[in-house]
Every structure is written in structure tokens, then in C-alpha cells.
A and B are shown apart, each in its own frame.
Chain A
Amino acid sequence: MEDRRIGVYVCNCGTNIAKVVDCDAVSDFAKKLPGVAVARSYKYMCSNPGQEMIIQDIRELSLDRVVVAACSPRMHEPTFRKALQTAGINPYFLEMANIREQCSWVHDDARAATDKALALAHAAVRRVVHHEPLEKRFVDMCPATLVLGGGIAGLTAALELSDAGQPVFLVEKDDHLGGNLARVDLTAPYLDSARDMLADRIRRVLESPKIEVLLRSTLQSLSGFVGNFRAEIRVGADGARTVDVGSVLVATGFREFDARRIEHYGYGRLPNVVTSFELERMLREGRILTRGGRVPKYFAMIHCVGSRNPEYHGYCSRVCCMTALKYGHEIKSALPGAYVYDLYIDMHAFGKGCEDFYRRTAEMKTMFLMYAKGTTPEIVPSGPDDDCEMLIKVHEVLSGEEIEVPADLVVLMVGMEAREDAADVAHLVSISQDKDGWFIESHPKLDPVATTTEGVFIAGTCQAPKGIPGSVAQAEAAAARILGKISRGKIEVDAVFAEVDETRCSGCRMCNELCPYAAIEYDAATKRSRVISAVCKACGCCVAACPSGAIQGRHFTDRQIFSQIEGVLEWASSQG
């Protein structure tokens, strides 16, 4: 153990680390540690010259272990592992000491931050001595995909996958395909027909020999792991299907905000206060009438119903502003004499073509009235002399005046919210939800359709409110990710996972319910528990819980962790 040849590389990260931590002091300190053959400090270890430096040292100085004191391993562990591999040693002979996020970014005191960096470097050197060579493994990838949700996202992904020749099981809870988009008339900003958009896709899906559509169906359970999932599906009232799939795409969409929750808008009580989806239906049917059967003259759209209000949902639902503008167009083309008022907080017209659409709508003499965030317009009965059903009182922000506008039909622009069954779906497929109930992507910018469960993807409005282009783009992105996995044919399984030593397992079953990834199986015949290594995410819960010490985490053995802790403590005690 003591005759290890360790290389220690201290990254300055430009000035990110070096401005607080004395990087030269860290490398000088590391040089003197037992087993350390070389220690260097460099401006950017992750750069090509930085990696080259490590590779060259490994080859020329016969290094067998490497410590990189730099950023979080989440950032660059794969980079440096690759460097080790290129140099011809096992990539798991690397240990990173995080002296950026854990030192320079969180401390001002240069002396103390440097001391902490020394302690962490010492810990890493002590730990890396005990690193064992680990090999990645591969399992077969099942080419079929389970798509949950037959809305525009699910349909799009199913077509992309089937067009590439891969089988798809499309599970839809409703008795028809189309999802929320099937309830829409025209779409903003180009006023294309939603019906036309959907009809073609639905026809192609139904005709595809590669896609099996399961209507009135719900996922009951999902077991297995990326490349090898098994899904139990309830079909209709009492049918059941079991399908084997390699990937899962969750495209379960949204539900509309329940306008009853904002009581003073009177939805459900006032006959001519309707939701945007109810107006859509009138538009689709070509009959725009008040409850009394009269053709309305005055229309008022109230924006942000349930959105951008901390009492309901703090987020913007993204599509309602343009949808409201679209109503202006549709109403004025159906009823040229009608007046349209838009009561809005901010006009969010950020999509392609949307700002032009806003300008054209304004030119059509839609009246825009701005109300303040945190307030709500008030709906009051009209007087006997008014020629309208209701009056809306609003404090108009731009003019600063109290304004009353007439309304025969008040349209509440209801926002999107996570579906009532989102938590169940999340649990079934082992993904997470954010505070608003939307499914969480692997990375908000760089990995927007993957999730923390490998092989499970998300697309469309189940991830966050978005319009059709965003949903379609995500569906296609997810299909591309899935096809990429299928084309490789094999799934790489990380070499870091928990293992049960069956000669030590007592079958006590403490670990069985504990695994957040359902990676632990109990074998009733042998009375032993077993970790399915491909499913394991190496979180370590079972390792800690196993009372007989039968479960060990590869790359996180007791020996390695204790050495690391001792490294910190020894450094601290050497300082007195």
C-alpha cells in the first residue's frame, strides 16, 4: 500500500480557486505526503494541456493513483477518469478533492480556506491509496419504448420512434388520442387549426404497424432498469398487459387550473364567466353565445388566472397571453362588431412570431388594460341602463385610472398545473417533482428531457408549462435520446454500485424497502437479499443500513471512507 505512486494535481480554475486558496501551498504540502510521487498546480487542470500533463506524468513517472484537487466531481470526474484511461490506468484510480465549491466559493478567509483545502487534499491522498480497479459492464438494450400520454408530445415521440423502425406502446388514459390539444380550436400565433395538426398525426399513429395504442389504459407498475423495464398496464376496466421496454417517455401533460378556487371571479356561480377551454369549445363549434342564448357584444379576457400569484401558482403558464390574443382574432373574425378587452398583468409575447402577433392584435383594436400583480379585477352586476351582462372594475396601471369595462362574456385565462395523478406517476417511474408538481429534468439547461432515473424521459407540459413547439421539440429530443440508446444496442452500467456479500447476508430484509430505486430483490429460496447492479445508483442507503455489514458500496468501501476521514482528522491534529 505504501509503495503507491500518487500524482496530485491542484487546479487554480483560472482565479476561481486561486483567488482564495493558495494552490501552490496545497501542491507543496501534497508533495511531502507518503506515496506522492509528484504534485503540481496549474491554471486549468480540465483543459487539454492540463489533462495532457496528467497523462504524461502517469506514463513517464509510472503513477498508479491520481488526486485532482479542483471542482466538484459532478463537474469533472468523468473528464479526469477519461484522462486516466487514456494514459492506460484504471479510471477509478482517481480521487477528486473539491477545493472550489467546498473551499474557494464558500469562504472569504484565504488562510482558513487554504487550510481546509490542505485537509481535503490529505484526505483524498489517504483515500486514493485504497482505490480498487473497477470495470464498467454492459447489458442488452430492449428497443421498445413505453410512451405515457397520447397528447401532442406523446404522439410526436411515438411517430419519431416508429419512423425509425422501433416498437412503441402508447398508453393513453382517455378513450381518444390528442390530449389537451384536442380541446383547442386555432393555435397562436399563426392561427393554424389544432384539429388539422392532430388528425394527421393520430392517423399515422393508428396506422403504424410499430405502434400499439392502448386507450383507457394506465401504468400500474414499472420494474427493472434502463434497457430492461417491465411495465404492467391496466387496459380498460379489467384488461391487463405486461410489456417489456427499454425506455419510458412520460408525456402526461397538464390539467387546467380550477377557476372555482378564485371565488370572487364567480366561476360556476356567474353564468357568463367561462374558462378559456370553454370558449375554445364554442369556437370549435362555431357558436359563441351567452348562457341566455344571446350573441355577446363585449368580451373580457382576464389573464393570469391561477398563474403568477403566490396564493395559487407563482409561475407563468406561458401560453395564456398568446391564447388570449388568439381569441381576439377569432372573435373579431366571427363577430366583427364585438369589443374585446384584455385585462393583463404583463404581456408575455416571447415566442417566435409572438411579438408580431401582439402588434397585429393591437391593430385590430383589442383594448389592453393592465392591472397590477397582486390585485385582481372585480366583476360586478351591470345596471339597468347598461347594455351588457356585467361590468369589470379594474385599476388600470398605465393610465392610473379606475376603469369599468362592459362584458357579456368574461373569459378566465386559466393556467396550467400538474395533473392530479402526477405524484402517482412520479412514484411509479421513480422520478421527482418540483415544488409545483412538475417532473424534474436531469439538468434544467443541459439535460432537459432526461431524468435522474436512467431510461426514463419526460416531454411536454408534464415537465413545465409550455406551448406546442416546446412540447414537440422535447418529444423529438427524447425520441433522439432513446434512439441513441437503442442504436448502441448495449447499456453501460456504472461500475460503482452496492453489492451484497451473500456469505454475510442474514436475510433480515432491513434493506428491502429502503432502496429509492427498487434495486433490491429478496430471494425467498436462499433467504438472501440481492442488489440488481444495473438499477443501483450507488446512493449508499442500504450500505449504511445493512446491520451485518454484508452490503458494501463499490468505490465507497469502509476502508476508503475511513481513510478519507482519518486524512482530515490527522491533518487537523497535526495543526494542534
Chain B
Amino acid sequence: MPEKKLQIALYWGAACGGCDVAVLDTNEFVIGVGFLVDIRLWPIAADGKYRDVEAMADGELDCTLFHGAIRNSENEHLAKLLRRKSKVLVALGSCAHLGGIPGLANQVTKQEILERVYLDNPSIEAGNRVVPLPSTRVDAGELEIPRFYRRVYRLDDVVPVDYYVPGCPPAPEQVKAALQALVNGTLPPARSVIGASNRTVCDDCRRRKEEKKVTRFHRPWEILQDPDRCLMEQGILCAGSATRSGCGVRCPDSGMPCRGCYGPAPNVIDQGAKFVSAVSSIVDSKDPREIERILGDIPDILGYAYRFGLPASLLQRSIR
């Protein structure tokens, strides 16, 4: 037992809460952790107010696990605040690591999002089509809500991050390993990816790999797959070859293609570009029209290739 309990915070930005569940999925371990650490802030599971954080001395927290992307001014404010209060800041999960699913919104403008969500959405009842503004005057005074940004950022874009734990969500055993390393004081050099390996999902995948020549791409439910053969060779888009490993190959082992949530392989700058390049390399045709037909089977290549990392890519966002 350490003489002084470790002081930690868990916080979410633009997130679904799955990373919190991944932490809870460490089951009895997280309870054990509770004996070793003081959880000072964890909106989903524990008490703690922003003002409590503001009252802390700089560096008072040993570690913050930050999950979720930076979508609005509140996310950024808390990221900066927690950064200042924490000795170690960990980007937990795909959103904090690379921008994640919320990052796909970088394909459209802020205006389009607001119109879609608050005006055009068919589920909005008539007469209630209102776009919320950052500040609203009501009888009681001025009400403020966080400012919605033009684009989504990853945590790294707004504050320096010490460690990245990839995954959507991270595998519970990897969360456990990261927490264990923190408790034991055995963290690797700063700014590295932890809770993952240095190879790709493909490398860990037990499926048989042969030469790849694809004449037709399929959605996973469209064909009866050979459970032992590489999914790509069967025409099912699988991001395993372009994705860092560490997840335990959970998706391909369950008959589903890898979706790329662990991010690019080490040394790769743009996971989506790599994936698109790999896909186009295995199309088995030299006839431009046939190639177009084969690639036409893929409904949303940008969404597929950059599912978890558009804000972290070279593209970052569409500019209009």
C-alpha cells in the first residue's frame, strides 16, 4: 500500500459513456482500485463538482483519465483545467485519442449540424424548432450554454497528453493494465500509446491469409463467410491490416470485420489513407469501368476508413 493514496479523476468530453463502462467492466478490479486511490471526479459514477476541481492546487491530481472528444467550449475548458491539475493526463479511448465517432461530424459544417438536429429532423415537433444559442436572456437573467465548435478536436489538439489508451471502447483488460501501471508507477516514457501492441490487428488475427484479389465487396451480412479465411479476401472490408493491435482481435474472431478503433499502426500518420490505399490495391481488375463498379460496392468509404480518426488525419475536416 502506498503511503498516500493516488488522487485521480475521470472525465468525459464529447463521448457516449462507453469508456466509463469499459472502466466499470474491469469489475472487482475497479473496486480494488478504489482502495488504492481517491477518485476526486467521475461524473458518471461518483460525486465531485467542477468547483472542487478548480479549488485544487496545480498538479494535485496524480492522474486524469479523459475520454471523449473536444466538441464544445466546456470540453476544452475542462481539458485545460484537468491538465493543469494533473501530473499525468491520459487520453482514454478513440474519441480522446483520435477524435472518434464524433469526429465524423468534421465532414459537415457546424451550420449543417445545427440545422439537421434542431430544424430539419423529422422527429422534432412542429413549433419547437429552435436552435439554442450560447447565451439566452430569460426573466431570471442571462443563461449560458457551452459554445459549439466549428469542428471536433482530439484531446491532443487542445492540451498536451501524456498517454493514449486506444479503443472504442478500450478492452477492459487494457484499461486494467493501464491503471495497474499507474498504481505501480511502471508507466512507459511519456507521450506513448499504452494498452496496445506495436503491430496490427491483422498480425494477431488467426484467420488464414492468402494473396488478395477482390472482384466484389460485400457487407458482412450479405455473404456466408469462411470463418477461417481473411475477411478482406472474402470481400468484406476489414480495417485489421491498418489498425494497431491490442484489442484481442475481438471483432474478426466474432465474424465481424475490424472497424479500426485502435487507430493507426505505429509510424503511420493517416490510418484512413492507408486503409483506402490498401483497399484499392487489392481490386482485381485493370479495367477502369470494372474498377469503378467494384469500388462502387462500398457505400461510404470515407466514413469507413476514418470512422475513428478523421480529426487526427491529414484531412482533419472538410473545408467549405
Contacts and interface: CB of A to CB of B under 8 A. Distances in A.
Contacts of A514: 281
B96 interface: no
Contacts of A506: 199-203, 241
A541 interface: yes
Nearest to A528: B203
A507 B206 CA distance: 12
Contacts of A546: 274, 278
Contact of B264 (A503, A512, A549): A549
Nearest to A549: B268
Given A504-B198, A508-B200, A511-B281, A547 B265 contact: yes
A545 B265 CA distance: 13
Interface string B264-297: 1111110000110110111000000000000000
Interface string B188-203: 0000000000111111
B95 interface: no
A565 B240 CA distance: 29
Interface string A480-511: 00000000000000000000000110111111
B210 interface: yes
A334 interface: no
Contacts of A548: 199-200, 202-203, 241-242, 265, 268, 274
B211 interface: yes
Contacts of A512: 211-212
B213 interface: yes
B202 A508 contact: yes
Contacts of A547: 200, 202, 241-242, 265, 268, 274-275, 277-278
A511 B274 CA distance: 12
A503 B198 CA distance: 9
A504 B245 CA distance: 11
A558 B270 CA distance: 11
Contact of B213 (A503, A513, A541): A513
A454 B210 CA distance: 29
Contact of A549 (B211, B212, B265): B265
B209 interface: yes
Interface in A534-552: 541, 544-550
Given A506-B202, A513-B282, A549 B274 contact: yes
Nearest to B238: A508
Given A508-B241, A547-B241, A548-B241, A513 B275 contact: no
A509 B199 contact: no
Interface in B171-215: 198-203, 209-213
A509 B266 contact: no
Residue in A522, A546, A548, A550 whose Cβ sees the most chain B Cβ within 10 Å? A548
B258 to A, nearest CB: 11
A172 to B, nearest CB: 31
Given A504-B198, A547-B200, A548-B202, A510 B266 contact: no
A556 to B, nearest CB: 15
Interface residues of A, number: 23
Interface in A243-263: none
Contact of A504 (B267, B277, B278): B267
A562 B242 CA distance: 20
A510 B267 contact: no
Best-surrounded residue of A509, A512, A558 (most CB of chain B within 10 A): A509
A514 B269 CA distance: 22
Contacts of A541: 281
For chain B, the bracket of interface size reads: 20 to 34
A509 B214 CA distance: 13
A544 B277 CA distance: 6
Contact of A558 (B198, B209, B269, B275): B269
B274 A509 contact: no
Contact of A545 (B201, B267, B268, B278): B278
A250 B149 CA distance: 65
B211 A504 contact: no
Contacts of A545: 277-278, 280-281
B277 A513 contact: no
Contact of B211 (A503, A513, A550, A558): A513
In the complex, which of the residues B201, B230, B265 has the most CB atoms of chain A within 10 Å of its own CB atom?
Answer: B265
B200 A513 contact: no
Contacts of B240: 508
Contacts of B211: 509, 512-513, 522
B298 to A, nearest CB: 16
Contacts of B277: 544-545, 547
A321 B158 CA distance: 79
Interface string B59-89: 0000000000000000000000000000000
Given A504-B265, A547-B265, A547-B275, A510 B203 contact: no
A430 to B, nearest CB: 15
Nearest to A507: B209
A508 B209 contact: yes
Contacts of B278: 508, 510, 545-547
B259 to A, nearest CB: 14
A548 B211 CA distance: 17
A507 B265 contact: no
A550 B200 CA distance: 10
B232 to A, nearest CB: 8
Interface string B214-254: 00000000000000001010000000111000000000000
B231 to A, nearest CB: 11
A39 to B, nearest CB: 31
B129 to A, nearest CB: 41
A283 B277 CA distance: 61
Given A509-B209, A547-B200, A548-B242, A504 B269 contact: no
A129 B136 CA distance: 54
A558 B269 CA distance: 9
A568 to B, nearest CB: 15
Contacts of B230: 508
A297 to B, nearest CB: 55
Interface in A365-394: none
A544 B265 CA distance: 14
A545 B213 CA distance: 14
A503 B212 CA distance: 22
Contacts of A510: 212, 232, 241, 278, 281-282
A509 B210 contact: yes
Contacts of B282: 510, 513
Contacts of B267: 504, 549, 558
B274 A504 contact: no
A562 B269 CA distance: 11
Contacts of A522: 211
Contacts of A503: 198
B281 A504 contact: no
A527 B202 CA distance: 11
A512 B212 CA distance: 8
Residue from A503, A510, A550 with most neighbouring chain B CB atoms (10 Å): A510
Nearest to A512: B211
B212 A513 contact: yes
Contacts of A508: 200, 202-203, 209, 230, 232, 240-241, 278
A558 B264 CA distance: 15
26 contacts: A504-B266, A504-B267, A506-B200, A506-B201, A506-B241, A507-B209, A508-B232, A508-B240, A509-B211, A510-B282, A512-B211, A513-B212, A513-B213, A513-B282, A527-B209, A541-B281, A544-B277, A546-B274, A547-B200, A547-B241, A547-B265, A547-B268, A548-B268, A549-B267, A549-B274, A550-B265
Given A545-B277, A548-B274, A558-B267, 5 more contacts: A507-B203, A511-B281, A522-B211, A558-B269, A562-B269
Interface of B: 198-203, 209-213, 230, 232, 240-242, 264-269, 274-275, 277-278, 280-282
Interface of A: 503-504, 506-514, 522, 527, 541, 544-550, 558, 562
Q: Which 8 A-B pairs have the closest CB atoms?
A: A506-B203, A547-B242, A549-B268, A508-B241, A545-B281, A547-B241, A506-B202, A547-B278
